[in-house]
Amino acid sequence: MGFRPLDFQIMALDILCLLDYLKINRYRVIGYSDGGIIALEMAIYQPKRQKQMVVIGTNYDTSQIKWWANIFTFAGYLFSLLLAPFSFFFRRIKAQMGLMIFHPHIKEESLARISAPMLAIIGEYDVISKADTQKMVGLVQRGDITVIHHGTHFFDSAETAGVASDYCFFF
């Protein structure tokens, strides 16, 4: 985990640096949950480089997580905060929970600069609201949304096949 706090922007820059190293100039990306946040950050940093992106269950601001989901994350954060001085494992959990509670804060004007086509997939009962996902889709230059009927943030095996066909058709 290193000594730096976890940060979606740094993770996005790390992946872009890896793509540079691998000499990959243009790319498509699929990001689930936090991975979708990283995909958004990548598109913001280098908008002309990203061909397309699919984001699944992705928020662009902490306020978009439904309150009941945040209760569990916050409880895990407090528990790990108490145990972090005694265990590397709980220091790591604290960092991960903190990232989920306190980030991201992507500005809407930054989303408006994303020019790559984006497909946002969300479960009908996701921890991210459909309205917030629709707002994100409307903010990017070329966005579309798919809502998985009866889906949650965690797709089961039956839903996974449908989601896979959605993004295969998109790409």
**Alpha carbon distances (Å) from 43 to 33, 37, 51, 95, 147:** 16, 10, 9, 25, 23
For 65-92, how does the pLDDT look when each residue is reduced to its tens digit (9 = 90+)?
Answer: 998 888 989 999 999 999 999 999 999 9
**Whole-number percent of the chain with pLDDT over 90:** 78
Tokens at residue 48, please? 């002309």
Per-residue pLDDT, averaged over 132-143, amounts to: 97
| Lookup: tokens for 133 | 């996902």
CA dihedral sign of residues 41, 44, 46, 48: positive
| pLDDT reported for residue 17 | 97
pLDDT in tens, 33-59: 999 999 999 999 999 999 999 999 999
Helix (H) or strand (E) holding 145: strand 143-148
Q: What is the pLDDT of residue 158?
A: 61
Of 13-22, 97-106, 162-171, minimum mean pLDDT range: 162-171
pLDDT at 167 over 70: no
- What are the tens digits of pLDDT across the range 111-121? 999 999 999 99
